[in-house]
A and B are shown apart, each in its own frame.
Chain A
Amino acid sequence: MISPHVFKAEKIEAGYENKKILHEVSLTIPSNKISVIIGANACGKSTLLKTLARLIKPTSGSITLDDKPISKIPAKELARIVGLLPQSPIVPEGISVADLVGRGRFPHQSLFSGWTKKDYEAVADAMDIMNITELANRNIDELSGGQRQRVWIAMALAQQTDILFLDEPTTFLDITYQVEILDLLTDLNRKRGTTIVMVLHDINLSARYADYIFAMHSGKLAAEGKPSDVITSTLIKDIFGLNSTVIEDPVSGSPNVVPIGRYHADRV
């Protein structure tokens, strides 16, 4: 199991010149757990994730890993501890699946070295977890969207970081693949103890798979805690402006949000 880390953000603000997106967000990421950031469109959830994953520099506040500011940690060293799967990664042309997954090994390699035994093991491991071993020597251009997404996650896994951020890893995928990807990520968390932090659109899947929820509203943290404590019809009203009733998910026992639209309001 991976040793615990303390990943903390304190009063971080971020945004563009005249438009602040994050307002004094402070949080501590639960180590070795799955956390999900939820919130309406443009509430700053993706910005929060990107700021935590050092893609955006906060304009004020501090982000620390084990009490060290992440800006002071050398880039490669940090890349061995904290990884990120971007929302829409760019597919390079004409590269094999195995070699693309292998690029995740960059922070572990020196300037000259070829692949070491460890690199091969990490790549094979990541591909086995994501079930893409049989695609290893195929050209990435030939794969479907769902297959590609698994390749990207495998690349992030090959990086073997203790903490993994994912920006909407299930967007554009069929419900079958969404569940499959979330199952695979849960395997990763349970087997290796990888700390996972992701932005998800689907609240009900979030409630099922998350150990911990961060709910964002207008660039601020509106609520945080276990799904069963946090996800209530009041919170859904507050952050999405949506009427709903929250029932127990018959499959997982987690909270399940059933939205109420204008046409069905009178039946409640």
Chain B
Amino acid sequence: MKNNSIEIIKQGRRLRRRRWILVTSLLFILAIALCCAMLLLGNTIYPVNDVIRTLSGEQIKGVTFAVNTIRLPRMLAGLFAGFAFGIAGYIFQTMLRNPLANPNVIGITSGSSAAAVFCIVILHTSNTVVSIVSVIAALITVILIYLLSKGRTFSIGRLILVGIGIQAMLDAFISYVLLKGDQQDIPAAIRWLSGSLNGSQMDELPPLVIAVLICTPIVLLLGKHLSILELGEQAATTLGVRTDLARILLIVSSVCMIALATATTGPIAFVSFLAGPIAKRIVGIGFSSIIPAGLVGANLVLAADLIGQFAFEVRFPVGIITGILGAPYLIFLLIRMNRKGDL
């Protein structure tokens, strides 16, 4: 009887693990394919050979500039920012058990965006300063949302509504600073309103890449804790999780990733909101979707940027495309949650 039960459980887990590995590998392969497309496609399509040669350091007239200076940083920015948005969004949504509770909806991205805009347009500071300030601003936004929504007992619904309010305020601030700033800087303005990979430069990337490389392992290490926090405060305490510590570590790692991604590409609309639910849907029941959510985020950004660049006569920044994808899903979710009485 008992051996039989163990076999049933083992078999189910084996099947779920197999599906997880399959889905994750497919997402990974898709991401690589999209990265290649980002390098190969553009105003001029260079031969694959030339692209590989320039990437390995050879100088080829025209190709080197287009690939190494324009396409490569654009691809890397999309890849890392998408990955960071996806993971951070998934962690917030899981920890707060609500798909609306993600950095994009509750104003955390707007916090770092506002700080970045202020530093760049008004103070003209260096990239390093922009990165540091945007991380600090995002953390302050988190603390502010938490304090304002705390009340007598903690409620996720209130947190989301307070977050939406704060986001509206910060977005107004961003618009104000942009209007006050140099009118010639329209492309930059678009970047800070909905996110764009246009004009990404190699020297802007290191803070984001470092944050992703440090924070991803931390978050993965805490994956088990996250799955327990998902069961609620009482169950987590009972199971021996030091809830405050685990929560703070998860929030700080996610916020670092999201803030640096925002400081690099602007708040690419809805990626952190969409990646988690999509990843969960395709991974199915059971296994942690942290890595799949990151890969879905990266794929979303890269695919949306390719669509924005080549599908229309006019070139659209990536954030416009993800916005078009995300907004209907937000409405769908609101209607569904309203029906279920979750909101």
Chain A contacts to B: CB under 8 angstroms? 50, 53-55, 74-80, 83-84, 86, 89-90, 92-96, 98-99, 103-104, 106-107, 109, 111-112, 115, 120-121, 123-125, 127-128, 133-134, 136-137, 139, 159
- Taking CB atoms, residues of chain B closer than 8 Å to A74 are 240
B contact residues around A104 at 8 Å (CB): 239
Complex CA distance for A84 and B240, rounded to whole angstroms: 11
Q: Is the CB of A79 within 8 A of B239?
A: yes
Neighbour of B234 across the interface among A86, A99, A128, A134, CB < 8 A? A86
Which of A55, A90, A98, A125 interacts with B237 by CB under 8 Å?
A55
Tell me the B residues contacting A by CB distance below 8 Å.
Answer: 1-2, 5-6, 8-13, 15-16, 97, 221, 224, 227-228, 230-232, 234-235, 237-242, 280, 284-287
Cα of A139 to Cα of B286 in the assembled complex, Å: 9
In the complex with contacts A90-B231, A106-B224, A136-B12, A84-B1 CB distance below 8 A:
no
Report the nearest B residue to A105, measured CB to CB: B239
Contact among B224, B231, B240 for A79, CB-based, below 8 A: B240
The answer for the CA separation of A94 and B227 in the assembled complex, in Å, is 12
Q: Are B230 and A92 in contact (CB under 8 A)?
A: yes
Q: Answer whether A120 and B6 are a contact pair too, CB < 8 Å, given A55-B237, A86-B235, A111-B221.
A: yes
Checking B232, B242, B285 against A94 with a beta-carbon cut-off of 8 angstroms, the contacting residue is B285
Residues of B contacting A77 with CB < 8 Å? 240
Complex interface: chain A residues within 8 A of B12 (CB): 96, 98, 136-137
Contacts of A79 in B (CB 8 A): 238-240
* 24 pairs, A vs B, C-beta closer than 8 Å: A54-B237, A55-B234, A74-B240, A75-B242, A76-B240, A84-B234, A86-B234, A89-B235, A90-B235, A92-B230, A95-B286, A98-B12, A103-B239, A107-B240, A109-B224, A111-B224, A115-B13, A121-B2, A125-B2, A128-B2, A133-B5, A137-B8, A139-B285, A159-B238
Contact B240 A86 (CB under 8 A): no
CB neighbours (8 Å) of B285 from chain A are 94-96, 99, 139
Chain B residues positioned under 8 Å from A124 (CB to CB): 2, 5-6, 9
In the bound complex, residues from chain B placing their C-beta under 8 Å from that of A137 are: 8-9, 11-12, 15
B residues in contact with A78, CB < 8 Å: 240
Give the interface SS of chain B, mostly helix, strand, loop or mixed: helix
Do the beta carbons of B16 and A96 come within 8 Å of each other?
yes
Residues of chain A lying within 8 A (CB to CB) of residue B224: 106, 109, 111
Q: What are the 6 closest A-B residue pairs judged by CB atoms, nearest first?
A: A79-B240, A137-B12, A90-B232, A124-B5, A76-B240, A86-B234
Which residue of B13, B228, B231, B238 is within 8 Å of A98 (Cβ)? Answer: B13
Contact assessment for A136 and B9 in the assembled complex, using a CB-CB cutoff below 8 Å:
yes
A127 and B9 within 8 A (CB): yes
Supposing A103-B231, A125-B2, A139-B285 touch, asked if A90 and B240 sit within 8 A by C-beta, the answer is no
Rounded to whole Å, the gap between the CB of A205 and the closest CB of chain B is 24
Nearest-neighbour CB distance to chain B for A152, whole angstroms, equals 9
Give the Cβ gap from B72 to chain A, nearest Cβ, in Å: 35
A62 to chain B, nearest CB (A): 19
Contact A103 B2 (CB under 8 A): no
